[in-house]
Amino acid sequence: MNTRDIMRKAFEMGVVIPAFNIPHLPMLEPVAQAIADDNAVAMIQVARLEWEKFESRSLEHVAGEYARFNKPSHTLLHLDHVPVIDEDNLRVDYLAILRRAIAAGYQSLMVDGSRLSLQGNIEATAQAAALAHQAGLPIEAELGAVMGHETSQQAIPYEEIFKNKMGFTDLEEAGRFVRETGCDWLSVAVGSVHGAIAEGMLDKKKPAAKLDVEHIAELRKALGIPLVLHGGSGIQQEFITRAIAAGIAKINVGTEIRQPFERVLAQSGSLTQAQDAVYRRTGELIRDFLGVKNSANLLLK
């Protein structure tokens, strides 16, 4: 499958491609199996955070596991969040990581310069896009960030953040960003909440987030490229359905499958039971939450 073409088709048809994060290597097999069993098209992805702070080990290890368990005509391998500045405020050699992913066989890439100034983000993303395009791969970028939810103390109530669109992707900035970077897809901040990574929050339920669907529609009209929603776990379902129709073509899901794996493994000590919990939850998300069972019939015509 050609990832760029699949994403464009999903965008034009109002179908979403789920992207499931793999913070623990044994999660990959049940995720891939659930995608195939429900005849869906979905991405399997890993972020730098997940080999630095969890147990996916490295992007190469994930690619190796993917080679064992991928399901042709159903799964795609994507490199999620490679930050320019990471969650610990440290500079990252992001271009070197992207080169490693290209060599390892990833089918699409993502660079995250959202902690930089607008100009800094544009410059870093343009460099990453040139590298990806030279390898024939599409690249995802990020602009905007919903504030207040990636630390253990939420300084600002979510409702206030949403009402005032704090950190939301600015329409005018987004137009300039896409023009000057050449990115293929854009992760936008429209109300979702990234998975908490602060100590003491890993096993906590995320806030019930909403989405500014009108803002999504405006971004789609202005940019004309597939839009991506990070922090897909925990969003109220009515907003998911409307957001897909408005222009969201890819939704990242991490917390919703990570927590069952960790919880069952801790309770039972059985890796098989933990994998089974991931398989069941992935299937539920595909069928009941995102409504993409049999999406392969649409996207692969």
pLDDT by residue (tens digit) across 154-187? 567 777 777 877 889 999 999 999 999 999 999 9
Catalytic residues: 80
At 142 the pLDDT is 96
At 198 the pLDDT is 40
Query: Would residue 301 count as lying in a domain?
Result: no
What gap in Å lies between CA 297 and CA 275, rounded to an integer? 27
At 202 the pLDDT is 54
pTM: 0.92
At 232 the pLDDT is 75
Query: Consecutive sets of 10 residues in the chain, 301 residues long: mean pLDDT of each?
Result: 96 97 98 98 97 96 98 97 94 98 98 96 98 98 70 61 83 97 96 58 61 95 96 83 96 95 98 98 96 96 86
Specify the CATH number for the domain of residue 11. 3.20.20.70
Q: Which two structure tokens, joined as six digits, stand for 140?
A: 């995802």
Residues 197 and 161: beta-carbon distance below 8 Å: no
Number of domains in the chain: 1
Query: Would residue 160 count as lying in a domain?
Result: yes
Query: Would residue 236 count as lying in a domain?
Result: yes
At 158 the pLDDT is 74
Query: Would residue 299 count as lying in a domain?
Result: no
Query: Would residue 107 count as lying in a domain?
Result: yes
Query: Would residue 300 count as lying in a domain?
Result: no
Helix (H) or strand (E) holding 98: helix 94-104
Q: What is the DSSP string of 235-279?
A: B-HHHHHHHHHHTEEEEEE-HHHHHHHHHHHHHH--HHHHHHHHH
Residue type, 67: A
What gap in Å lies between CA 11 and CA 14, rounded to an integer? 5
Domain that holds residue 33: 3-146+153-293
At 207 the pLDDT is 59
Query: Would residue 88 count as lying in a domain?
Result: yes
At 199 the pLDDT is 41
Question: 119 by DSSP, 3-state: which?
Answer: helix
Residues 253 and 21: beta-carbon distance below 8 Å: yes
